[in-house]
Structure 1
Amino acid sequence: MFYKTKLVLAFIGCLTGVVAHAQQDNSNVIIVHPAVGETIDKQEKIAYGLFPYYSADMFREARFLRFKMFDSTQSITLQTTLSNGDERMRPFTAREFEEVRNTIERRNQELKTTLSQQPGSARADSLGQTYSVELVSGSSFVGVLVAKRETELDFTTADLGRITVQKLNIRRIVLLSTAQAQRGWEPVGNGTRVFFAPTARNLRKGEGYVQNIDLFLFGANYGITDNVSLGVLLPVIPGLGAGVVAVTPKVSVPINEKFNLGGGVLYARVFGFRESGGAGIGYGVATYGSADNNATLGLGYAFVEGERESTPIVVVGGATRISRRFSLLNETYIAGDGFLGLIGGRLAATRLSGSLGFVYGTSVGGFYPAYVEIAYRFGKK
């Protein structure tokens, strides 16, 4: 009996091997979309959001196989190789296969739309031009475009040499002028404020900064989403006399690449005096321009303990970047028949910046240094 059982098991094993070998011989790789080719790697899986039943950590590569069956029908199977070397076979219906193709096509169309809306997009793939490139991961670089393919761009950079970037991984690509390319250029923020006054441009999701103003105030702002940010202002040394605590939520809506609308509130309370209540200003603001060069017009109303002031406050401001590190800034507040402003500049590196503003106005009688700030930007470059 034992001998017969072994013969049966051996026969089944041989039969299974023959069938598997026959299936493999009758299979051929099929391309679901030209953008990924025969083999879909880990980066493409993440970029296109494919195969959610396999985590990115365990995924190495996959390809679609078409098998010819004994009855002359055909079947589609996803052959996946995991990071530990294991191989998985998952049957696919024709509809599921088509859904994968459509997903890749939609993402490619989104990419084309994004690139076409970038500054200088008419020449956004011109060989020999210098570009500032921001990746989805948050890193950025400046390089000369030396080669382009359907899904990739090649750049030469001063620090990294020649690098290849998947188009899917590009969040923003900006064509630099000859002058910018010669003196070097790098992103120094998203142009979300002038000195103290907010613009309608918002921090990107995951981007933020901390700052010290005039030694006495500590501030922090963070991009909760690409359209909503939240900030706070605190005394550097709390508990000494009255302490001012302020929160500054802001909402921004991009109308197009250069024009943004926004609104927010600066609400503050003074702790240490029992009779002191909350006060602040609610505002709406419009900004035209890029992160480096922009103009802002805003209108706000102050309120004290829930009572709104009848006279509006108008803010006019702007910034222009004149070199790799230095920008000129101005913001002016107009209320009734008087005005008060700050004018000066900002020296900025990729992460660290310092600003100096001189106050002027109808009741000031000259220019005096009044705003000194040091800020550190974190998150996205």
Structure 2
Amino acid sequence: MKLYLTFIICLITIFSTVIAQEDTLKASLLVFSLIDQTEYVGKIESSESNFLNIITRENQKVRIAKEKIKEVVKYEDSDLSRREKEAIEMKGAVKDSITHKEYTDANLNRMIIFPTARPMKPGQGYIQLNELFFPYAAIGIGKFLTLGGGISIVPTFQKQVIYFSPKVTPLHSENLDLAAGVFYMTMTDFSNIGFKDGVGIAYSMTTLGDPNKNISIGFGWGFSGDNFSKKPVLILGGDIKIGRNLKLLAETWTPLGTNFMLGMVGFRVIGKYVSGDAVIIRPFSSHSGGSSIVPWFSLTYNFGYDDEF
């Protein structure tokens, strides 16, 4: 009797195991590899003596002759699963690199307003719109010369402002540049074409650092006609990259021998060809109880510059 019960228990155990395995197999996502290299991914719907009926993951019914089946494995253990995972990861990496591409700032030759000591390579240049009404353009000529200029387009002005800014960079290295230049501007009356006596600033500039973080320091001497100021203006500025395509900017102008300073701080958003600056400008003086803040916006299109990370 005991032997009989033991036999019955063994049969029940074996039968339950087989049923469980069959149910698991039917519920599992499988890869059916055929002799002719065809692969199906799906679940077993039913089994006949010579055929398997499966439902693919695309919800299509397929009837496969058992003699044509080379191998059946669980999807998670198959080479197909590994290949598809690699393809998904590769697609995600490509999408991420396109969506979050990092660019080098093409505006390395200028701070917020004042030039740095860095030159532009031959043929490199930019077209810039400041405060909507003050366009400016510059281009690199040779390895040392940068020429820039523009004219205001303020609709309410009878006389517009013309400005011109050449710069020479005799010393240029990876992390150090020395330059000198002039920024000159004058008024013009289009009803009586001609240039009036203008004003400007002659300057020398040193820039230290790399494209992601740098500082510029220089001195400028203001002039009007043939008359130059006796004391220079100290010009300080710099920027640092704080995001993939975002920079923090700062710039100050301080006439030596005075208690006045013009301070600027803001951000630059960097694109492959277009960048934009959003800045606030505030004058500081011990004689004034409070000074107003002036917003400054500029949009720049760069050309001839394709260096990127």
Alpha-carbon distance in 2 for matches of 1:291, 1:318: 11
1:379 partner letter: G
Q: Report matched runs for 1:25-104 at 5 Å.
A: none
Q: What TM-score results when the alignment is normalised by the length of structure 2?
A: 0.61
Alpha-carbon distance in 1 for matches of 2:203, 2:280: 24
Alpha-carbon distance in 1 for matches of 2:94, 2:271: 17
Per-residue deviation, 1:233: 2.0
Per-residue deviation, 1:313: 0.6
Pairing 1:318–2:277 present: no
Q: Partner of 1:280 in structure 2?
A: 200
Q: Partner of 1:327 in structure 2?
A: 247
Name which one, 1 or 2, has greater alpha-carbon Rg.
Answer: 2
Q: Partner of 1:361 in structure 2?
A: 283
Per-residue deviation, 1:324: 1.6
Any conservation in 2 of the 1:190–1:201 contact (CA below 8 Å)? no
Query: Any stretches of 5+ residues in structure 2 without a counterpart?
Result: 1-92
Q: Report matched runs for 1:1-381 at 5 Å.
A: 158=94, 184-237=101-154, 240-272=157-189, 276-335=196-255, 336-337=257-258, 338-363=260-285, 365=290, 368-381=293-306
Q: Partner of 2:58 in structure 1?
A: none
2:235 partner letter: V
Alpha-carbon distance in 2 for matches of 1:195, 1:271: 26
Deviates more, 1:270-279 or 1:280-289: 270-279
2:200 partner letter: G
Alpha-carbon distance in 1 for matches of 2:100, 2:291: 35
Any conservation in 2 of the 1:279–1:306 contact (CA below 8 Å)? no
Any conservation in 2 of the 1:264–1:284 contact (CA below 8 Å)? yes
> What count of residue pairs does the alignment treat as equivalent?
204
Any conservation in 2 of the 1:244–1:268 contact (CA below 8 Å)? yes
Q: 1:206 to 1:258 in 2, by over 3 A?
A: same
Any conservation in 2 of the 1:218–1:233 contact (CA below 8 Å)? yes
Query: Any stretches of 5+ residues in structure 1 without a counterpart?
Result: 1-156, 162-181
Secondary structure, counterpart of 2:244 in structure 1: coil
Q: What TM-score results when the alignment is normalised by the length of structure 1?
A: 0.50
Any conservation in 1 of the 2:118–2:172 contact (CA below 8 Å)? no
Secondary structure, counterpart of 1:353 in structure 2: strand
Alpha-carbon distance in 2 for matches of 1:191, 1:323: 17
The structure with higher relative contact order (CA 8 Å, sep 6+) is 2
Q: Partner of 1:29 in structure 2?
A: none
Identical columns (%): 28
Alpha-carbon distance in 1 for matches of 2:265, 2:151: 24
Alpha-carbon distance in 2 for matches of 1:323, 1:370: 22
Any conservation in 2 of the 1:191–1:292 contact (CA below 8 Å)? no
1:197 partner letter: F
Deviates more, 1:252-261 or 1:262-271: 252-261
Deviations, residues 343-362 of structure 1 (Å, cap 9, x unaligned): 11111101111111111232
Alpha-carbon distance in 2 for matches of 1:190, 1:211: 11
Alpha-carbon distance in 2 for matches of 1:210, 1:353: 11
Any conservation in 2 of the 1:265–1:280 contact (CA below 8 Å)? yes
Alpha-carbon distance in 2 for matches of 1:300, 1:379: 29
What RMSD over aligned residues (CA atoms) do the two structures have, in Å?
2.5
Per-residue deviation, 1:239: 8.8
Alpha-carbon distance in 2 for matches of 1:249, 1:326: 28
Q: 1:281 to 1:374 in 2, by over 3 A?
A: same
Q: 1:379 to 1:284 in 2, by over 3 A?
A: same
Deviations, residues 166-211 of structure 1 (Å, cap 9, x unaligned): xxxxxxxxxxxxxxxx964222315111110110011111110001
